[in-house]
Amino acid sequence: MKTPPIDLLQGFVDAYQRETTVAFFEFLIGREPQEPITGLCRVSKPKEGSLGWRYISLTFMLDAPDEDARAAVDAALVGIGDDAFKAAVDAVMEVVVVPPLSASSENYVRQMDLMLEDGIDVGRQFIAERLLPVLRRVAHLSTGEIVWWNGLAEEARAVRAVSSSSFFRRVMDGLRKRFNRDAVHAG
């Protein structure tokens, strides 16, 4: 019997619906003498009560107007999957790099799932004190302030103010609508 083809985009959408957003942060990748590349990283984890793997997901979203920009992003993010990164964040057992999710020539979306040891609390302390400093060092990212996400309207307004880029505005508007809808259904 022939196995149907796997729809990677649908798989991402299904996984996305089983995750809850923990935080966002802006980041910048320098590339002299050209303009730096700016982006937004979504930090998420499985929803409470989800069965299966224990992980934290990093989704990097940015404007990459040309091949040089995409190559610079790939070069910066490649270090997240290596042994030095796993050694620096000792709770990370494995890094699963999802193939690029955007076919658009200007928008770039890259997801990495960090498979964690049991018993790790993926809260503010882990993200701010253990994960983010290693991301800065290994991927050479300059990062902005972490915006913690609780699905509440005030956090949605704060995240909306993070960037004025139209790409980010569209992404954030979509996420805000999704999370506000979830908050209404949960309440």
pTM of the model: 0.70
3-state class of 158 per DSSP?
helix
Please tell me which residue, 81 or 105, carries the higher pLDDT value.
Answer: 81
Encode burial over 84-108: b for 16+ CB neighbours within 10 A, e otherwise: ebbebbebbeebeebeebeeeeebb
Structural domain boundaries in the chain = 16-145
pLDDT of residue 98: 82
Q: pLDDT digit string (tens) for 30-76? A: 888 888 899 999 999 888 766 667 889 999 998 888 888 888 888 88
